[in-house]
Amino acid sequence: MTCLLDVNALVALGFQGHELHGRVAQWTRGLDEEDEFLLCAITELGFVRVLNQAPQYQVAIDDARDLIARLKAGRKRIFRFIADDHGVAQLPRWVKKGRQTTDGHLAQLARANGARLATLDGGIPGAFLIP
């Protein structure tokens, strides 16, 4: 399976202090060795932003950068960075509200790269909900 992790799933996986870290970590343990995770600029930048801005985390920017670098360098899972060449023309028709734009963008980017968007949000059409 190839999955593009959305920002919340990436934060939960890469930051042990996240309330859903155990859920995402357990899911990843059940995957095959050849399964891979895709990352893109939006998800990596979102990881850094959330860890830095969320009052419950307040992780320094450099520390958040180090966390994601260590996560990607780990031997347990393949991480592959993909270029994001999608604009508003590729936004799915189900996107009707501003808060859906990033989800729609990431879902379409995943599909274009032969993957599914993996998320903790059950409201994204076609996405894989992490159990």
Total residues found in the chain within this entry: 131
Domain boundaries, the chain: 2-129
Amino acid at 95: V
Q: Where are the beta strands (DSSP E) in 6-127?
A: 36-39, 78-81, 116-119
- Please report the pLDDT score of residue 33 as a whole number: 84
- Please report the pLDDT score of residue 70 as a whole number: 92
Place of tokens 């968007």: 117
Per residue of the chain (131 residues), what is the pLDDT tens digit? 899 999 999 999 998 889 999 999 999 999 988 899 999 999 999 999 999 999 889 999 999 999 999 999 986 788 999 999 888 888 888 988 888 889 999 999 999 999 999 999 998 999 999 99
According to CATH, the topology of domain 2-129 is Rossmann fold (3.40.50)
- Strand arrangement of the beta sheet that strand 78-81 belongs to: 78-81, 36-39, 2-5, 116-119, 128-129
- Please report the pLDDT score of residue 45 as a whole number: 96
Question: 2 near 36, Cβ under 8 Å?
Answer: yes
Structure-derived torsion over alpha carbons of residues 98, 6, 116, 82, reported in degrees to the nearest 10: 100
Beta-bridged to residue 116, according to DSSP, are: 3
CA–CA distance, 17 with 20 (Å, rounded to integer): 9
CB atoms within 10 A of CB 110: 25
* 16-53 confidence digits (pLDDT tens): 889 999 999 999 999 988 899 999 999 999 999 999 99
